[in-house]
Amino acid sequence: MSDLPRKAVTRTAKLAALPLGFAGRATWGLGKRIGGKSAEFVARELQERTAEQLFRVLGELKGGAMKFGQALSVFESALPEEVAGPYRAALTKLQEAAPPMPVRTVHAVLAERLGEAWRELFLEFEDKPAAAASIGQVHRAVWHDGREVAVKVQYPGAGEALLSDLAQLGRFARLLGPLVPGIEVKPLLTELRERVAEELDYALEARSQREHAEVFADDPDVVVPAVVHQAEQVLVTEWLEGIPLAEVIAEGAPEERDRAGQLLARFLFSGPARTGLLHADPHPGNFRLLPAAGSDDPAGWRLGVLDFGTVDRLPGGLPETIGTCLRMALAGEAEPVYALLRAEGFVKESVALDPDEVLEYLRPIIEPAGEESFVFTRGWMRTQAARIADPRSPAHQLGRQLNLPPSYLLIHRVTLSTIGVLCQLDARVRLRDELAAWLPGFAAAD
């Protein structure tokens, strides 16, 4: 029996209780105000209690609920600082850990997928999981040839749970939206639902990881662990030792933060150019910072990349339209930018907008690409989120008239997520260098 609650009625009841809990806390807050507590005190306590309940439930359920929580986790930078603390603590828990499934369930899955003599494949196998994610958990082991490996085991019933959770969460997306200002929750849930089949297919994940590992073999900046073995819902890869990115975010030195940020940006843009694949799950739990042997200087450290369960296949790399549009926007070419956005479907034929207003809408967002180096901060992220989320803002009104073509949806989410992580890192990044090197259509700016 799996510890992943699979019965639809059980999972639905847990998720359906969330909006009721939100409403109950609002009533509780009103009572506190009547009792004389300050608005600031009540708001902070409401946020803390809401975060605690929401992400505890998402973490317990794993499946699509936890996948949604991890997707939200990279956007905590957009929250106002006075309420970000409780969310940051709750969200970080989802990036690296979740309640483990029972040992007997792990052994049963291994016996079913690797054979009854599965233990003979390993010299050592640790029953306690080293990490847990939305659809599976990872165990540290030693392969029969002596290599240290990570054994990823899929939760029984994970597919059913993913679909059920995401459908249920979609029913009260409006209530969840205010948790992260400036982020459209419903399209995020829709996109996650569309990726379920890929996420569950460990054979497809193994293929994507092998392609990355081959291309990045001996790379001075990026490390991708090799695939050792794959069978149904079990994936064995080489073990990757390093400093979890969540740890760098929490307590890393400035030099470590800057190095991690630069490498993350480099991987985001170089990956599609070199492999034709875009790693589409850039939350901190999927990255490690690998110190160089015998050196404390972060300048030589590398970025370890994990989890290739969700990728976007881009045979020609990132669309040249992105680089061309970005280059022209930085040059202040309002009319050509508008024409290109309309041609690509970002502005529907039925909508007429002022090209100069569109350019003004874009300027703050593209600011990091126009600087020699840019410090990504939570303050900058909050400013962007507030500008777009405020219904009274001209940016909000214009943004509502723009359209995101389906072919750009995943690229958009991955880019936003990566920027969210860079802001968590508080990293100084030479983003323009990476764009010039790897983004088609951008280099002509120089």
Contact predicate 438/269, CB 8 Å: yes
pLDDT value of residue 74 = 53
One-letter amino acid for residue 269 of the chain:
F
Strand blocks (E) in 191-298: 222-223, 227-231, 234-238, 243-244, 277-279, 287-290
Structure letter (DSSP) for residue 310: S
Q: What is the pLDDT of residue 92?
A: 56
Q: Which residues of 325-358 are buried (b: 16+ CB within 10 A; e: fewer)?
A: bbbbbbeebbeebbebbbebebbeeeeebebeeb
- Position 327 scores a pLDDT of 96
Predicted TM-score of the model (pTM) = 0.78
Residue 224 CA, distance from chain mean position: 18
Q: What is the DSSP letter of 230?
A: E
Structure tokens at 107: 């052994």
What is d(CA 383, CA 280) in angstroms, rounded to the nearest whole number?
Answer: 25
Token pair, residue 406, equals 């389906």
| Residue 184 confidence (pLDDT) | 61
For residue 14, the model assigns a pLDDT of 55
pLDDT of the residue at 22: 42
The rounded distance, in Å, linking the Cα atoms of 172 and 18 is 9
Cβ atoms 213, 224 nearer than 8 A: yes
Q: What is the pLDDT along the chain (446 residues), one digit of tens a residue?
A: 344 444 444 555 554 554 444 434 333 333 333 444 444 443 445 555 555 556 555 555 555 555 566 565 555 555 555 555 555 555 555 544 456 778 999 999 999 999 999 999 999 999 999 987 667 889 999 999 999 999 999 988 777 766 766 666 666 556 555 555 545 666 666 766 776 777 788 999 999 999 999 999 999 999 999 999 999 889 999 999 999 998 999 999 999 999 999 999 999 999 999 999 999 988 888 999 999 877 788 899 999 999 998 899 999 899 999 999 999 999 999 999 999 999 999 998 888 999 999 999 999 999 999 999 999 998 898 888 878 877 788 888 898 888 888 788 889 889 988 998 999 999 999 999 999 999 999 986 44
Q: Would you state the pLDDT for residue 304?
A: 97
Beta pairing class for 243-244 and 287-290:
antiparallel
User: Where would I find the H helices in 281-405?
Assistant: 320-330, 334-344, 355-370, 378-389, 394-399
Rounded CA-CA distance 224/208 in Å is 11
pLDDT at residue 362, rounded to an integer:
93
Ordered structural domains, the chain, with CATH: 8-95+173-181 (no CATH), 103-158+197-238 (3.30.200.20), 320-445 (no CATH)
At residue 431, the pLDDT reads: 97
Q: pLDDT at position 283, please?
A: 85
Largest separation between any pair of C-alpha atoms in the chain: 68
Cα–Cα dist 383/417, whole Å: 16
